[in-house]
Structure 1
């Protein structure tokens, strides 16, 4: 499906909601930035951050309005998580993933959605859609066991979306699925010892022979092809393409990290000399000027790729038109390139600032660690995305991954 790039992308109402949500996120930046070092050092997003985000309505962006959620769109999620990412990469990642998992719940049957939100509209959802668990058919549902990682945001969640395989259904659309499990039924193993995005506390969830009712299972192959179980087909948000949306939500925090790096160079260069040169201010040096130009342009390029994919996703959802394989391949490529360009923007800033960029007191080193880690999430792998996209341009489809 081809979408005209200059076609109207959004309604006035959606645009106004988005502007308000981004304004709320911007108002939280001083708090989140003030807690960023502790978030990284203590390997967890502070409750103060989560409470502030929740109070601002920024953890319900993808929750159905039927349960009190914002029911926004993917461009809104990108812009909010970008704004949060300018203050703290880990907090932005958790914000993006808690919202993304709420979107997954919105694809399930009505009864499953009620299980999560009917009695607890503030319930939050973490998850790992990688099928690293198994589901065995029993009367009324399934017995599920497995280990799932990395479960970003699980420390702040009430439910989990978990990927499973069903050996009994091999060769059918139910062979791989996602299930909904209450967090109290899962154990959390502290395994997230990493260089970057440390505050996401993306630990491992463990489940052993858990009963999952049949209505809390959703086929992943069905979802990949746009066949969702939700009966609320008039809700545009829950018509968005599964894989492009799942990939795109990871780019928002990285857009914010790139913007934060550019901001740091802009703010600090005037007060610093260029070591071992005659320049008393880095702003006078062509090398710094060029570095800033390249970093800012790369950050812009990352944003343009991500926003194009978001526009295509949101417009298709509003139109009720499921994108074809080639369109989805390009969306996944856009997400991969957004991550690459954002990462390169941060690298350019680090090079311009020299070894001091990696001093522990310099927030740039945390930004660098966060984006080097976050940009390497498997669903963003730019080489896999490029192979999928390149083959699709030649008319070769479905030979690399089912996740398109």
Structure 2
């Protein structure tokens, strides 16, 4: 799959400016991703999907993002949607994948409102930041339903054709993801297409047919988001390093940036930050793969540590990019250079709620000092 992803890089580079203008993936990119099986990464094998491991998902995201962070993000978010769909009832899975193993997803866990109705839910809400909304076949999103006087969080699977898309995606970064708002009003969802949200926070060994479904959702979902960050970081490092031997160091006597010891030190620092982030990401992915293969659950302290390390890795990438654009200078922000896009996209992606470092540190820190308090329902 990584070789297939690498084979798409030329097209992605050619189309990236179109994605910026359209504020969604260009059709040519979406079709190429479909043709190369990128939408089947975490589709269950029983539906002719690839059902790859976490390490492979990371590699694919990283490779695609060297050319286009938005395309990489769209593939990762779609993979998470496929994984979620694989948690629903067999009837729901057959409805989605039986006719289309390449089913594409959009969605959000931000809860809308729901009320119980005979054998299902009646839902309403607006779900912002639904990446890939324009090309989606299905959606997976959160709702809160009142049950017996208590609130219950659930996920719903709904055909994308039953929802309205509001074009609200106006940002300076990750423009090509098309992360618009999905809207539903008084929409009926049958019970077989609903899932208790609490099931996603804890993984029950042997409860699923596919090895990949033995992983805790939040750990897998947020970890794979690091793939696009790592790819953009690598692209930025390669860009700056390649030009250092021909670009003068402004306001100095150095005819080339590469002659400056100060610049050499800064490049080394950035490279090591990126390598540190990559080591964390792939070590965690390998650990999740091993646990799933051995049918071992990841306990709460383990999941808390993963959450903290994910945020730490994301921060390392952001800090490395800050160094790299400073090294390259004000020219980093010219619209004609890809470096400004790496910087914009990575800085926005790293602000995703699942990647925020401080929250992760608090969650992990509480386990280190024995504080029995959970501040997130999804860890």
TM-score, reference length from structure 2: 0.97
In structure 2, relative to structure 1, the CA distance for the partners of 1:203 and 1:353 (3 Å cut) is same
- Cα offset for 1:37? 2.0
2 CA distance for matches of 1:181 and 1:330? 33
Aligned residue in 2 for 1:12? none
After superposition, where does 1:127-276 map in structure 2 within 5 Å? 127-131=107-111, 133-168=112-147, 171=150, 175-227=152-204, 233-276=208-251
What are the Cα deviations for residues 103-145 of structure 1, in whole angstroms up to 9, with x where unaligned? Answer: 11111111111111112222111110122x1221111211111
* Greater Cα shift, 112-121 or 80-89: 112-121
Please state whether the residue corresponding to 2:251 is helix, strand or coil. coil
2 CA distance for matches of 1:170 and 1:358? 54
2 CA distance for matches of 1:381 and 1:45? 26
What are the Cα deviations for residues 139-177 of structure 1, in whole angstroms up to 9, with x where unaligned? Answer: 1211111110110111111000011111225547xx001
1:24 aligns with 2:1: no
CA contact (8 A) 2:116 2:146 kept: no
Aligned residue in 2 for 1:334? 309
CA contact (8 A) 1:40 1:90 kept: no
Aligned Cα root-mean-square deviation (Å): 1.5
Aligned residue in 1 for 2:63? 83
CA contact (8 A) 1:154 1:203 kept: yes
Aligned residue in 1 for 2:355? 380
1 CA distance for matches of 2:174 and 2:241? 24
After superposition, where does 1:35-54 map in structure 2 within 5 Å? 35-54=15-34
Aligned residue in 2 for 1:399? 374
Which runs of 5 or more residues in structure 1 are unaligned? 1-20
From 327, 332, 339, give the equivalent of 1:364: 339
TM-score, reference length from structure 1: 0.91
Please state whether the residue corresponding to 1:206 is helix, strand or coil. strand
Aligned residue in 2 for 1:104? 84
What are the Cα deviations for residues 224-264 of structure 1, in whole angstroms up to 9, with x where unaligned? Answer: 12259xx9734111111111112112111101110111010
| Number of residue equivalences | 379
- Cα offset for 1:38? 2.0
CA contact (8 A) 2:204 2:297 kept: no
CA contact (8 A) 1:388 1:397 kept: no
Please state whether the residue corresponding to 1:59 is helix, strand or coil. helix
CA contact (8 A) 1:325 1:397 kept: no
1 CA distance for matches of 2:263 and 2:182? 45
2 CA distance for matches of 1:169 and 1:349? 55
Please state whether the residue corresponding to 2:134 is helix, strand or coil. helix
In structure 2, relative to structure 1, the CA distance for the partners of 1:118 and 1:378 (3 Å cut) is same
1:61 aligns with 2:41: yes
1 CA distance for matches of 2:351 and 2:318? 10
2 CA distance for matches of 1:238 and 1:112? 16
- Cα offset for 1:398? 3.7
Aligned residue in 2 for 1:280? 255
- Cα offset for 1:359? 0.9
Which runs of 5 or more residues in structure 2 are unaligned? none
- Cα offset for 1:352? 0.2
In structure 2, relative to structure 1, the CA distance for the partners of 1:245 and 1:398 (3 Å cut) is farther
1 CA distance for matches of 2:207 and 2:301? 27
CA contact (8 A) 1:329 1:392 kept: yes
Please state whether the residue corresponding to 1:62 is helix, strand or coil. coil
Please state whether the residue corresponding to 1:195 is helix, strand or coil. coil
